[in-house]
Amino acid sequence: MNSDAIGGYLELELPPGNGERYPDALRFQSARAAFLALLMAGRPARIWMPWYNCETMLEPPGMAGIEVRRYGIDANFDIAEDIVLGENDWLLYVNYFGVCDAQVERVCSRFPHTQVVIDNSQAFFSPPAPCLATLYSPRKFFGIPDGGYLVTQVPVDEPEEQDSGSIERMQPLLIRIDQGPEAGYEGIRAARATLRGQQPKRMSALTRRLLAHLDYDSAFERRRQNFARYHEMLGSDNALASFDARAQAPLCYPFWNHRTDLHAALAAKRIFVPKYWPHTRGSSGMADDLEYRLSTECLALPCDQRYGEAEIDRVIAALREAGAANQD
């Protein structure tokens, strides 16, 4: 009978924790792997997926041999097309930036809930939707090396093989603490690349342990406050006026002012703002597609639990300075 070891050298010290946010979810090495496991278990005839999405999410249906149909969204992040799902079709909808809970409700009302998969990779704190399955990617919200959750009605088994790559993926997270984000940037890109094209594996023991020791309540409240601060100061200039400003604890504050020149200006001030997703194209593949414009013009301003009002105000000041300078 196996039992925990006693004695020997000390492991990484972690603060007291209250357990995982979704203790009953299935645990995988990534949300992408969880999606692949879901597809292999459910075997839909085809799956409808948005053009505005991370290109890596096309890997799972490709690996599972599932046909993909694409659809467009409108400026409210609602599905913009008249989709009729076949009996064995599924539809994936993304809770964009964690501010689309209302849109998720509309999707689940519009389509048979037993055929809807909600991607909450950008909405960790949004509860599982009343649908076929909900996906989560906690590493987008916390400093952990990997991991994905799946909540589903489909009978999916957690894989026997456990992921063993978390220790290597931890390195850029530690480098950032010691040397700053620039020093760990190539490492984090390499770490993310190791999650591509993988068969589903169980979440590593390291990642699960880290997830059990996070202060979720504090992170929720700080994100909520930071998001509200952004919206108070920038809401009147945000073309995404339709999203719910009361969003609980989003991934970021999405700010769209139709400018393509501000990412570099902010980076010069060591304010690093990702693009979601730089290789995205819409149905026409042209630059005037909404999806392409969002991918190049929308700023995902950081609102996570590392920061407070002083940091948010610094981002806002830098954004306004960069905007004014580039208009001269």
* pTM score, whole prediction: 0.95
CATH, domain 216-325, list 3.90.1150.10, 3.40.1190.20, 3.50.50.60, 1.10.390.10: 3.90.1150.10
Contact of 28 with 148, CB cutoff 8 Å: yes
Question: Mean per-residue pLDDT for 181-203?
Answer: 95
When pLDDT is cut at 50, 70 and 90, the band that residue 4 belongs to is confident
Q: Where are the domains of the chain?
A: 26-211, 216-325
Q: Residues of the chain with pLDDT > 70: what percent?
A: 97
**pLDDT tier for residue 263 given thresholds of 50, 70 and 90:** very high
For residue range 98-137, what is the model confidence (pLDDT) as tens digits?
999 999 999 999 999 999 999 999 999 999 999 999 999 9
Residues across the chain: 328
| Cis amide prior to 277 (ω within 30 degrees) | yes
Q: Are strands 89-94 and 46-50 parallel, antiparallel or unpaired?
A: parallel
Average pLDDT estimate for 143-162? 96
In angstroms, rounded to a whole number, what is the distance separating the alpha carbons of residues 53 and 71? 11
Q: How far apart are CA 33 and CA 201, in angstroms?
A: 7
Does residue 245 carry a pLDDT above 80? no
Confidence (pLDDT) at 327: 63
**What mean pLDDT value characterizes the chain?**
94
Distances (CA, A) of 40 to 1, 120, 206, 296: 33, 20, 26, 34
Residue 240 has pLDDT above 70, yes or no: yes
Q: Which fold has domain 26-211?
A: Aspartate Aminotransferase; domain 2 (3.40.640)
CA 277 to mean position of chain CA atoms: 11
Q: Is the distance from CB of 107 to CB of 95 less than 8 angstroms?
A: no
